[in-house]
Amino acid sequence: MFILDAHLDLSMNAMDWNRDLTWSVEEIRNYEKGMTDLPGRGMNTVSFDAMRKGNIGLCVATQIARYVKKENPLPGWNSPRQAWAHTQGQLAWYKAMEEIGELVQITNVEELENHLKMWYNTSNDRKKPIGYILSLEGADSIVDIDYLERSYKQGLRAIGPAHYGPGTYAFGTDSIGGIGENGRALLKEIERLNMILDATHLCDQSFWEAMDVYNGHVWASHNNCRELSPDHRQFSDEQIKELISRNAVIGVVLDAWMMVPNWVKGESTPESTGASLKHIIDNIDHICQLAGNANHVGIGSDLDGGFGKEQSPLDLDTIADLQKIPDMLRDRGYSKKDIDGIMHGNFIRFIKNVWS
């Protein structure tokens, strides 16, 4: 099964965690044995090799760099220009991976269709470049609105206004507040450039204020259901229905604390909570029941997004294990057409609609 993963922090792993994704998962784990500087060391799940083994031929890959004001306790850069410079370093890494044939950037329908044809028709014996669509997770590195068009020319096609905490353009996870004048200006520019608004991480107030003023294309690259895992990081049924009404696609996320209720960070484990791919199927099914069809959900794994196996489904060793999901959906009664849509077709249809 061909898979599109709508959220992978590839450049963060390369530039912030110093992981060479051309190595195998096992090689990275062995290299990181004994390291304690970051959670998830030695428990990574993603590499280019593992993606190819899992037939993950296309992903939405991020740039991410938070700007934090002096009163903000979150880690981040002390000025938006520093954050911008960091995203430029991440972009340089993506370009370096293109030069050696590991990745290829996808920015329009023609490139998308050519990539899909290549991936489907080329023998698996040959190393195929993995397609990536560039997304910005949190807009703090956009120094002013003019920078967004500059990013668009670099290939940026999706953007989430906030990440964690208060941001320049919106309030994100673990904070409360609206989009304000800066946020409204950003949304207007996103709409003008025909980019995709990523509603992921918007706190409830910012989410609803954004929906009130934004008329362009919107998706949620990596979000689960609050009904199944009660926490404000997940979307309520009302928010999911709003996104469905806008023809959005929601990517379910494999971060265990967003999969099961009552997860205690630093204490809970996938084994102690039973967090498994079954809970991902539950989230997929919940979105499908709200929609009345299987057209608005996909995969946005967020694997190695600041965590590793210690906070991933217990029955997943590497990202290649996403291939377990189709059979699990089949066992739940989903048709081949619906499974194809969930694993890749829904996001591909959405992207083609935006770009055409």
Please, is 264 exposed, middle or buried when counting C-beta atoms within 10 Å of its C-beta (0-12, 13-18, 19+)? exposed
Domain that holds residue 168: 3-355
* Cα distance between residue 155 and residue 196, in whole Å: 12
pLDDT of residue 326: 98
C-alpha dihedral, 122 to 128 to 133 to 139, nearest 10°? 170
Instruction: Give the Cα separation of 230 and 173 in Å (integer).
Output: 14
pTM: 0.97
Task: Tell which residue, 268, 272, 312, has the closest CA to residue 43.
Answer: 312
pLDDT score of 72: 83
Query: Count of domains in the chain?
Result: 1
pLDDT at 97: 98
- Nearest residue to 296 (alpha-carbon basis) of 235, 355, 356, 255: 235
Which CATH number characterizes residue 112's domain? 3.20.20.140
Tell me how far apart the alpha carbons of residues 95 and 168 are, in angstroms, rounded to a whole number: 28
- Which residues of the chain carry a pLDDT beneath 50? none
* The pLDDT value given to residue 123: 75
Identify the pLDDT of residue 315. 98
Give residue 74's pLDDT. Answer: 87
Instruction: Report pLDDT for 151.
Output: 98
Which residues pair with residue 296 across a beta bridge? none
Q: How many helices (H) and strands (E) in the chain?
A: 14, 9
354, burial (CB in 10 Å: exposed 0-12, middle 13-18, buried 19+): middle
